[in-house]
Amino acid sequence: MKDKNYSVNTHWDKRFPKKGTKLCPIQLGVSINGDQFKVGLRMYCTNEDFEKAMGRGGSLDIKELRKQINEYKDKAEKTLERMPNPNKETFTRLFRSETDLFASSKTDATFLFEEYISECAKEDRIKTGKNMNCTMKSLKSYKPKLYLEDITPAWLNGYRNFMFKEDNSATTVQIYLRNLRTIFNRAIKSGFISEKHYPFKNYTIGTSVKSKSVLYAPDLKKLWDYQGITLREKRARDYFFFLFLANGQNFKDFCYLKFKDIKGDTLSFVREKTKRTNTVADKQIIVYIHDEMRAIIDRWGNKPGSPDDYIFPVLNKCKTAIEKENSRATQQRMTNKTLNRIGKKLGFDVPLVLNLARHSFATHLKLSGTPTSFITDALGHSSSKTTEHYLKTIPDQKYKEISDSLLSFK
């Protein structure tokens, strides 16, 4: 048992009576390393009943009140006992959760996931919140009782094998394991669990060895020459090439572009994905506005008005973050469906979707001899390792050209 550096007491707070009654709230007085604070229990009673509950005997109602107060006090003490480095914030969050501390002395991962998901909702990080929610459901489908102390390297291998048996891809497994690692790191930092329980220290999550699909120059030319039959085809083609010319821009960033991001002949923006990270939050991506990009804005964009107006109409009618994310997802899904039909018409051997613009941009620069460090900056990546994952292997024809050039001195 660790050294006791805390205390828990109960109080009847006469300062906040219920209007028109003698009922006042019952609170816990908590002291951690000399830091004193109170936590409300959402329980009310008279001073007389509270004094009786603090004693012995009494009516059935008094005994029930005493039982409830003692259960809250016990929960507070159990919470403090098993937290390595408790403080007011971490204690209050865990104490107010639905975690059943009487059923287990372990750290409930479900509570920590739900807390993170709630934070994402408050910060309008809708996609991240949905991703974390999918991770939590997946982990609980493997082990319904999800406690951090139970998760070991062997547990992680068991989960990986379980996911593969359920026909999940290696990429999905890696994403979910990284999310679980995030929860562990947050739990350790907040003092919910000791670092000795960290299972990822010598465990490799791995990375996908499959390179991204891309369009090489011949296929890009086919798509460029394709004029489109319907309005949707014309727009889908134009959206693809706008992303390609805008440094392989992500479609979400495309949707959030505003007229104030246009500065003369350049477009300057920060990736939505990294705005809340510490490493690249302020990293501006600068794009030269090609004449074709201006033409696409003229064809499909909003009419210039306020600097805060969106350039493209995807989010025009959206007010909340959820509405924006749903509109973005719907437009992307519809556009990809249209592009896929175009790709089949043109005989592409890979599904034509918007993401190919990003991968194709990176690979096109690689094949032209552009240094990876420049490509990393252009894509807005924080690490060249991430960029390498985007770069497709050199096509067979390029190997032939390289081989033929070896004897060019002849």
Same domain, 53 and 132: no
**pTM score above 0.75:** no
pLDDT of residue 386: 58
The answer on 349 and 254 residing in a single domain is: yes
* pLDDT-derived band at 378, boundaries 50, 70, 90: low
Domain boundary among 167, 197, 227: 197
Q: What pLDDT is recorded for position 209?
A: 46
Give the alpha-carbon dihedral of 46, 47, 50, 56, to 10 degrees: -120
Condensed to tens digits (0 to 9), the pLDDT of residues 303-358 reads: 988 999 999 999 998 998 889 999 999 999 999 999 999 999 999 988 999 989 88
Residue bearing the bigger pLDDT, 237 or 266: 237
Same domain? 131 vs 257? no
Judge whether residue 62 has pLDDT over 70: yes
In this prediction, residue 86 carries a pLDDT of 81
User: Does residue 75 share a domain with residue 12?
Assistant: yes
Q: What are 265's two structure tokens? A: 């002949």
pLDDT digits (tens, 9 = 90+) for 165-215: 998 888 899 999 999 999 999 888 877 788 888 999 989 887 654 445 788
Q: Is the pLDDT of residue 140 over 90?
A: yes
What pLDDT, in 10s, does the model give residues 108-119?
888 889 888 988
In a domain, 139, yes or no: yes
**pLDDT at site 158:** 95
124/256 same-domain check: no
Percent of the chain with pLDDT over 70: 83
pLDDT number for residue 402: 46
Say if CB 405 and CB 376 are below 8 A apart: no
Q: What is the CATH number of the domain that holds 283?
A: 1.10.443.10
Average pLDDT, the chain: 84
Q: Answer whether residue 202 is part of any domain.
A: no
The pLDDT score that the predictor gives to residue 287 is: 86
Domain boundary residue among 162, 197, 232?
Answer: 197
Find the DSSP H helices in 123-195.
126-142, 153-165, 170-190
- If asked whether residues 312 and 389 sit together in one domain, one would say yes
Query: Do 73 and 10 meet the contact criterion of CB atoms below 8 Å apart?
Result: yes
> Do 37 and 168 belong to one domain?
no
12: containing domain? 6-83
Residue 96 placed within a domain: no
The per-residue pLDDT for 239 is 96
Could you give the CA distance from residue 155 to residue 66 in angstroms, rounded to a whole number?
A: 41
Over range 29-43, report the average pLDDT. 90
Beta strands in 326-390 (DSSP E): none
pLDDT of 223 reads: 94
Say if 178 falls within a structural domain.
yes
Whether pLDDT at 401 is above 70: no
Q: Which residues pair with 9 in a beta bridge?
A: 29
Residues 304 and 183 in one domain: no
234, 344: one domain: yes
Cα–Cα–Cα angle for 176, 182, 183, nearest 5°? Answer: 95
CATH label of the domain that carries residue 188 = 1.10.150.130
- Provide the domain count of the chain: 3
Do both 174 and 285 map to the same domain? no
Taking Cα atoms as reference points, which of 122, 205, 220 lies closest to residue 171?
A: 205
Does residue 121 share a domain with residue 77?
A: no
In a domain, 102, yes or no: no
Look at 36-45, 217-226, 377-386 and tell me which has the smallest mean pLDDT: 377-386
